[in-house]
Amino acid sequence: MVTVLFFASLRERVGTSRETVPIPAPNATVSMLVESLRARDGAWAEAFAPGQAWRVAVNQRVADLATPLRAGDEVAFFPPVTGG
Amino acid sequence: MPIVRVQEADFDTGRELDALTRGRTDVGAVASFTGLVRALNDGSAVSAMTLEHYPGMTERALEDICREAHARWKLIDTLVIHRVGALRPGDRIVLVGVSSAHRGEAFAACEFIMDYLKTRAPFWKREDTPGGSRWVEARESDEQAARGWE
């Protein structure tokens, strides 16, 4: 299992801030997790549609689609940041 | 040494910057940046702002940015205080302070820390305007400023 977090506008679009999901496959990557989220209902497909600007972090470090996932990882999806 | 704080409470800019020099005689320069909430953004009146962040990753990202500044320039201390939660126009959002022996390093590192903070630290602003509440969009000009340090 991995913990998946959603922040800001992305959290509002998918309607949840946190959930626990099974790792999609052995040797899974962020890309495979995104595919499984995109395969859900309309809001999820829309939020993760190609061309949508989102960022991902694994264990609180900036990650990308190729980043591997392991049991217990914390994966966060969020829009481009706007602090400062 | 990097000093990083993420908090809801306001901060006293003078006291925070004084703390960078108190009791020491090796600091020749302190540069600082203060960011504030404006009452007008992208043509709309802003009555309030809410800042969301990613607890844990935020502090780590800010510490990484400060450490990168220490690696690039000869600095004494770096300070970042960033507020989260409900803010109003005129409120302070962020303070960056950098101390060094000479001004060049302090000026450069202060700008670098802000440029990286704007594009790498997980904060998100939401504004209340007469047209409703809206998430602030990231600006390409901020990305360009950060790329300028690569």
Chain A residue whose CA is closest to B33:
A84
Mean pLDDT score across all residues of chain A: 95
Chain centroid, CA B22 distance in Å? 22
Q: How many residues does chain A have?
A: 84
**A56 lies within 8 A of chain B by CB:** no
Chain B residue whose CA is closest to A83:
B123
According to the model, what pLDDT value does residue B42 have?
86
Question: Cα-flanking dihedrals φ and ψ of residue B100, to 5°?
Answer: -155, 180
Higher pLDDT, B37 or A25: B37
**% of chain A residues with pLDDT over 90:** 86
Q: Average pLDDT for residues A31-46, to the nearest whole number?
A: 94
pLDDT at A33 over 90: yes
According to the model, what pLDDT value does residue A26 have?
85
The answer to whether the CB atoms of B122 and A9 lie below 8 A apart is no
pTM of the model: 0.95
According to the model, what pLDDT value does residue A24 have?
79
All residue ranges of chain B with pLDDT < 70 are: none
| Complex ipTM value | 0.94
What is d(CA B18, CA B16) in angstroms, rounded to the nearest whole number? 6
User: Of B148, B136, B84, B141, whose CA–CA distance to A80 is shortest?
Assistant: B136
Alpha-carbon torsion angle A5, A10, A81, A53, nearest 10 = 120
What is d(CA B137, CA A79) in angstroms, rounded to the nearest whole number? 9
In Å, how far is B41's CA from the nearest CA of chain A? 13
pLDDT at A50 over 90: no
The Cα-based distances of A34 to A23, A24, A59, A80, B118 in angstroms read 11, 10, 16, 17, 26
pLDDT at A51 over 90: no
**Among B57, B119, B136, beta carbon nearest to A60:** B57
In Å, how far is B69's CA from the nearest CA of chain A? 17
List pLDDT tens digits, range B44-71: 999 999 999 999 999 999 999 999 999 9
According to the model, what pLDDT value does residue B136 have?
95
What is d(CA B57, CA A11) in angstroms, rounded to the nearest whole number? 17
What is d(CA B63, CA A61) in angstroms, rounded to the nearest whole number? 12
Query: What SS3 class is residue A28?
Result: coil
Contacts of B75 (CB under 8 A, 6+ apart): B69, B98, B99, B100, B105, B106, B109
Chain A residue whose CA is closest to B51:
A83
